[in-house]
Chains A and B, each alone.
Chain A
Amino acid sequence: EVQLLESGGGLVQPGESLRLSCATSGFTFSDYAMTWVRQAPGKGLEWVSSIAYIGTFYADSVRGRFTISRDDSKNTVYLQMNSLRVEDTAVYYCAKNFKDVGEYWGQGTQVTVSS
């Protein structure tokens, strides 16, 4: 059974940092691209970042502040988030790619940026 479990969310002040983790199981992690998607309160889905064999990709709104990475030995994908802004407040989901984004999703982790 494929499982994705996000962690690392929390309440931080503007300008601070957080590192999200997404631990996976049930598939050969190294074979698949992974993606982070976020959802602000009461809003729609926003693609944030993807990591694939061809490279890493970012939304304009986070480029230069967020870094996606992976540790294939730990079956885990990360999202390092620096210089957080109030507008980064959202539930952050990780997703496994197959044929495109989002074959499987985690349950999400809440990130709140507030002074």
Chain B
Amino acid sequence: DVVMTQSPLSLPVTLGQPASISCRSSQSLVHSDGKTHLNWFQQRPGQSPRRLIYQVSNRDSGVPDRFSGSGSDTDFTLKISSVEAEDVGVYYCMQGTHWPRTFGRGTKVEIK
């Protein structure tokens, strides 16, 4: 199975400051269709997960543009350009290239 390694697992951030989460996969996530299926999800406390980014860098509808995804092959990053209070929660990367699908362990974002 593809192992997704996120870092850090805990990220205290200051409001208005940028934040960055890394996700590395144990195998290349380039699919035979030519696309790289790496997704990012946000789970606020007490809520269902919400997808923010699909295929590395595409924001889902309604996702603020302060969220951006980048990377390739096995190395990916989620960036928040200016953290707001509503961004508190756990962020997960997930690969959709190989079966079984696998998630990272999650990165808990909290306000300092």
Q: Is the CB of A45 within 8 A of B60?
A: no
B48 on the interface (CB 8 Å rule)?
A: yes
**Which of B48, B60, B101, B106 is close to A44, meaning CB atoms less than 8 Å apart?**
B106
B103/A57 in contact, CB under 8 A: no
- Across the interface, do A93 and B100 meet the contact criterion of CB distance under 8 Å? no
Which A residues are in CB contact (< 8 Å) with B58? 99
Which of the four size classes fits the interface of chain B? 20 to 34
A44, A93, A98: the one within 8 Å of B105 (CB) = A44
Is chain A's binding surface mostly helix, strand, loop or mixed?
A: loop
In the bound complex, what is the Cα–Cα distance between A102 and B42 (angstroms)?
A: 11
Question: Closest approach, in angstroms, between the C-beta of A90 and any C-beta of chain B?
Answer: 13
Report if A1 contacts B (CB, 8 A). Answer: no
21 contacts between A and B (CB under 8 A): A37-B49, A44-B103, A45-B49, A47-B100, A47-B102, A57-B99, A57-B101, A59-B100, A93-B49, A99-B54, A99-B55, A100-B37, A100-B55, A101-B39, A101-B96, A102-B39, A102-B94, A103-B51, A103-B60, A105-B48, A108-B48
Instruction: Please give the residue numbers on chain A whose beta carbons come within 8 Å of chain B beta carbons, in ascending order.
Output: 35, 37, 44-47, 50, 57-60, 93, 98-103, 105-108
- Residues on B close to A: CB < 8 A? 1, 37, 39, 41, 43, 48-51, 54-55, 58, 60, 90, 92, 94, 96, 99-106
